[in-house]
């Protein structure tokens, strides 16, 4: 056989380009939740239900009306009538009236009438009464419906790798299957007459060796997120090799061979690819691993690895594994422990070791103090909230004798996954359906839907890249406006309710569901109520007191509208887009501007710029009712 010399050796950069030009993506598929761990979401998952779906007690004790405890203390406890018991998993058959209490256990449904729970250690049961020795505030020791995650929330975004934390959240949401990137099928073919499968006897006299590459490369494929398919090893016969490679190409997305790639007269695999496919390169200026092949064979991508195991694994890890990870939607791996600076001061004085879930954010070059400097922020929402871990990147240990971590203090973060990357964009503030669409166009974003007011507070502390705020805002917060859009807000109402204006809430007996005071929608509603009060010549709070449910607010933007859908309310504060999607009539109260305000030092971060570009592109608003198409044309207006 004629000897064929190497073609010109290409640079490693060119080899990366050649492998990157190969089409490996196998598309998407749906898998059961039991098989979802380690897979990568192909689409955004929005919450369809509230979690928890009911107001529940967070500890063992007594459900009370908080106002009945306002004067209670050790010297003069409040005496409340014990009128029943509710265990976890039971439907309450008793209500809490003024002066009453109900015994509850952790996780039980909060009985009607109660708005707080007193821990059992602060009480003393005296026959048919309970002495309460401390005052509690409304909402104390209660996890309200939707506190963990609320219907309509952007629960998980495309590109999220599913670990036990995300699977736990999906379980809580009731998902039984999820859309994921399909694993690229990778054929593993080792070549050489001298190879013998492990477990078989060797004949050293014939120069036989065990087939190492098939198993080591297959393990690397699985680690990179692919599905390895082992084929029988093949000798240095042209026809036999051509048949096996074409069989593998017909069944897999990528064919990986090892051996038979050098310029030896008996190494013929490059001839098979050159004759029957498209050979992109043969030989890379790298050691070890010079005899590398890249090409296409029929409908499959092809990479030929050197025969020596060290060379084969070097080439695989350097060039092929990243391509498999990209096709599977996986990020490149990184170290399991990183250091960073605390973004905020975190107090702790309970005298126990604390494993604090934290998130990481790259503050950008203007804020960096070192080449590996990251900001670390706590994301602990309580032991009952699955989203605490989903929103976290790792854990910081706070020893028992540490009372606080100061802002700027260096800490070590133990990552949940060694290949985890911090978000390119960290937002906090208002929730918004258009924002969910916009974030789909940003790589590795993270949004904390904590309301406009809390978003501004975190922006002032320097803990986030940008705040998302709606309606009137605190202009004193140092910030750089980077994007904005308009949305129509008002009241979602029941069919035939004849609710036509804000005055109807005040003048009629209407059950109303509001947003929390942290929400920009609530701020706009309060302002509108103030304008109505001025017209009537009365105090705003007098009008608000006439509206059943005005003072009690829910966290998420869809929750009031869903309460109307379920028949639990006659009207709910919300957006036209939400009302239309859920099939409810809508009474507009105006147009509200949503602004993205970046920390001045981070306004040029790639993640911030990507969001700005997505807003300017306008695609997220194209078919979203209540979002004027022209509202996002200018980046900052």
In a domain, 229, yes or no: yes
In a domain, 522, yes or no: yes
Pairwise pLDDT comparison (213 vs 534), residue with the higher score:
534
CATH number at residue 41: 3.90.105.10
Which of 328, 362, 380 is where one domain is finished?
A: 328
Which of 369, 388, 422 is where one domain is finished?
A: 422
Pairwise pLDDT comparison (330 vs 111), residue with the higher score:
111
d(CA 462, CA 363): 9
Same domain, 447 and 484: yes
Same domain, 476 and 620: yes
**pLDDT above 50: residue 370:** no
**pLDDT above 80: residue 135:** yes
Same domain, 318 and 359: no
Contacts with 205 (C-beta within 8 Å, 6 or more apart), sequence order: none
CATH number at residue 311: 3.40.980.10
In a domain, 533, yes or no: yes
Question: Going by DSSP bridges, is the β-strand pair 512-515/553-554 parallel, antiparallel, or unpaired?
Answer: parallel
Pairwise pLDDT comparison (462 vs 45), residue with the higher score:
45
In a domain, 427, yes or no: no
Same domain, 459 and 599: yes
Q: Could you read off the pLDDT of 188-204 as tens digits, one per residue?
A: 988 776 766 667 777 77
Helix axes 12-20, 321-328, angle to 10 degrees: 30
Nearest to 364 by CA among 122, 601, 148, 616: 601
Contacts with 472 (C-beta within 8 Å, 6 or more apart), sequence order: 520, 523, 524, 527
Torsional sign, CA 254, 257, 262, 264: negative
Long-range pairs, 612-618, Cβ under 8 A, ≥24: 612/482, 612/483, 613/441, 614/438, 614/441, 614/442, 615/438, 615/483, 615/484, 615/485, 616/483, 617/441
What is the token pair recorded at 41? Answer: 């979401």
Range of the domain at 253: 12-26+183-328
**pLDDT above 80: residue 591:** yes
Nearest to 556 by CA among 435, 424, 378, 383: 435
Nearest to 590 by CA among 471, 475, 473: 471
Same domain, 543 and 499: yes
In a domain, 397, yes or no: yes
Helix (H) or strand (E) holding 468: strand 466-470
Q: pLDDT-based confidence at 331, cuts 50/70/90?
A: confident
Q: pLDDT-based confidence at 381, cuts 50/70/90?
A: low
Q: What mean pLDDT is predicted for residues 59-83?
A: 96
Q: pLDDT-based confidence at 612, cuts 50/70/90?
A: very high
Same domain, 417 and 545: no
Q: pLDDT-based confidence at 491, cuts 50/70/90?
A: very high
Q: pLDDT-based confidence at 262, cuts 50/70/90?
A: low
**pLDDT above 90: residue 365:** no
Same domain, 321 and 453: no
Q: Are 425 and 446 in contact (CB under 8 A)?
A: yes
Same domain, 605 and 484: yes
In a domain, 6, yes or no: no
**pLDDT above 60: residue 593:** yes
Same domain, 511 and 624: yes
**pLDDT above 90: residue 407:** no
**pLDDT above 90: residue 6:** no
Which of 91, 116, 143 is where one domain is finished?
A: 143
**pLDDT above 80: residue 34:** yes
In this predicted structure, which of 9-23, 94-108, 437-451 has the lowest mean pLDDT? 9-23
Same domain, 293 and 383: no
Could you tell me the CA-to-CA distances from 358 to 133, 388, 445, 446, 453 in Å, in that order?
Answer: 36, 9, 16, 13, 22
Q: Could you read off the pLDDT of 207-239 as tens digits, one per residue?
A: 766 677 788 889 989 989 999 999 987 777 788
d(CA 588, CA 577): 11
CATH number at residue 600: 3.40.190.290
pTM over 0.85: no
**pLDDT above 90: residue 269:** no
261-265, 346-350, 456-460, 627-631: which is most confident: 456-460
Q: What mean pLDDT is predicted for residues 545-571?
A: 90
Could you give the number of structural domains in the chain?
A: 5
**pLDDT above 60: residue 263:** no
Q: Check residue 85 and give its pLDDT.
A: 96
In this predicted structure, which of 41-45, 187-191, 286-290, 548-552 has the lowest mean pLDDT? 286-290
Q: What mean pLDDT is predicted for residues 287-292?
A: 76
User: Across all residues in the chain, what is the average pLDDT?
Assistant: 86
In a domain, 535, yes or no: yes
In this predicted structure, which of 137-141, 210-214, 456-460 has the lowest mean pLDDT? 210-214
In a domain, 5, yes or no: no
Q: Check residue 3 and give its pLDDT.
A: 39
d(CA 36, CA 39): 5
Q: Check residue 636 and give its pLDDT.
A: 47
Same domain, 393 and 462: no
Same domain, 546 and 598: yes
CATH number at residue 377: 2.40.340.10
Q: What mean pLDDT is predicted for residues 357-372?
A: 66
Q: What mean pLDDT is predicted for residues 139-157?
A: 91
């Amino acid at each position: 056989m004629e000897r064929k010399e190497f073609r010109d050796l290409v640079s490693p950069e060119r080899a990366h380009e050649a492998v990157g030009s190969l089409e490996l993506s196998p598309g998407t598929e749906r898998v059961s939740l039991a098989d979802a761990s380690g897979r990568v979401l192909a689409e955004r998952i929005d919450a369809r239900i509230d979690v928890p779906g009911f107001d529940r007690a967070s500890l063992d004790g007594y459900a009370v009306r908080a106002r009945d405890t306002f004067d209670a203390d050790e010297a003069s406890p409040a005496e409340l009538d014990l009128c029943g018991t509710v265990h976890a998993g039971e439907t309450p058959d008793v209500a809490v009236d003024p002066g009453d209490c109900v015994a509850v256990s952790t996780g039980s449904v909060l009985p009607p009438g109660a708005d707080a729970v007193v821990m059992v250690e602060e009480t003393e049961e005296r026959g048919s009464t309970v002495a309460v020795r401390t005052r509690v505030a409304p909402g104390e020791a209660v996890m309200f419906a939707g506190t963990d995650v609320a219907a309509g929330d952007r629960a998980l975004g495309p590109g999220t790798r599913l670990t036990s934390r995300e699977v736990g959240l999906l379980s809580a949401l009731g998902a039984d299957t999820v859309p994921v990137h399909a694993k690229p099928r990778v054929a593993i073919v080792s070549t050489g007459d001298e190879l013998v499968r492990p477990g078989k006897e060797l004949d050293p006299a014939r120069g036989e060796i065990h087939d190492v590459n098939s198993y080591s490369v297959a393990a690397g494929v699985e680690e990179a997120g692919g599905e390895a398919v082992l084929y029988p090893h093949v000798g240095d016969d042209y026809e036999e090799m051509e048949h096996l490679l074409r069989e593998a190409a017909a069944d897999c997305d990528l064919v990986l061979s090892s051996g038979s790639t050098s310029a030896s007269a008996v190494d013929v695999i490059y001839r098979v690819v050159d004759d029957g496919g498209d050979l992109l390169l043969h030989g890379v200026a790298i050691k070890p691993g010079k005899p590398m092949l890249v090409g296409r064979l029929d409908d499959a991508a092809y990479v030929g690895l050197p025969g020596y195991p060290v060379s084969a694994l070097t080439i695989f890890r350097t060039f092929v594994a990243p391509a498999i990870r990209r096709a599977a939607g996986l990020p490149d791996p990184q170290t399991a422990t990183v250091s960073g600076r605390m973004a905020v001061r975190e107090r702790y004085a309970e005298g126990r070791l604390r494993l604090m879930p934290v998130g990481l954010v790259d503050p950008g070059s203007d804020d960096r103090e070192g080449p590996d400097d990251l900001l670390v922020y706590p994301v602990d929402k309580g032991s009952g909230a699955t989203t605490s871990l989903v929103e976290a990147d790792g854990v910081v240990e706070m020893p028992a004798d540490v009372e606080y971590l100061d802002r700027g203090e260096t800490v070590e973060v133990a990552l949940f996954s060694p290949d985890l990357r911090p978000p390119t964009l960290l937002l906090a503030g208002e929730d918004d359906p258009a924002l969910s669409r916009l974030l789909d166009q940003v790589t590795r974003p993270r949004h904390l839907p904590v309301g406009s007011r809390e978003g501004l507070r975190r922006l002032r502390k320097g803990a986030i890249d940008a705040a998302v705020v709606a309606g009137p805002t605190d202009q004193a917060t140092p910030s750089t406006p980077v994007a904005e859009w308009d949305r129509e807000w008002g009241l979602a109402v029941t069919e035939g309710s004849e609710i036509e204006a804000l005055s109807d809430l005040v003048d009629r007996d209407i059950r109303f569901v509001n947003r929390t005071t942290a929400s920009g929608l609530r701020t706009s509603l309060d302002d509108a109520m103030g304008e109505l009060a001025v017209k009537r010549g009365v105090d705003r709070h007098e009008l608000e007191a006439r509206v059943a449910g005005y003072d009690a607010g829910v966290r998420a933007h869809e929750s009031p509208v869903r309460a109307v859908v379920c028949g639990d309310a006659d009207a709910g504060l919300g957006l036209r887009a939400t009302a239309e999607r859920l099939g409810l009539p809508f009474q507009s109260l105006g147009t509200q501007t949503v602004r993205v305000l970046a920390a001045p030092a981070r306004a040029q971060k790639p993640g911030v710029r990507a969001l700005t570009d997505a807003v300017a592109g306008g695609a997220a608003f194209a078919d979203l009712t209540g979002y004027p198409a022209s509202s996002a044309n200018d980046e900052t207006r």
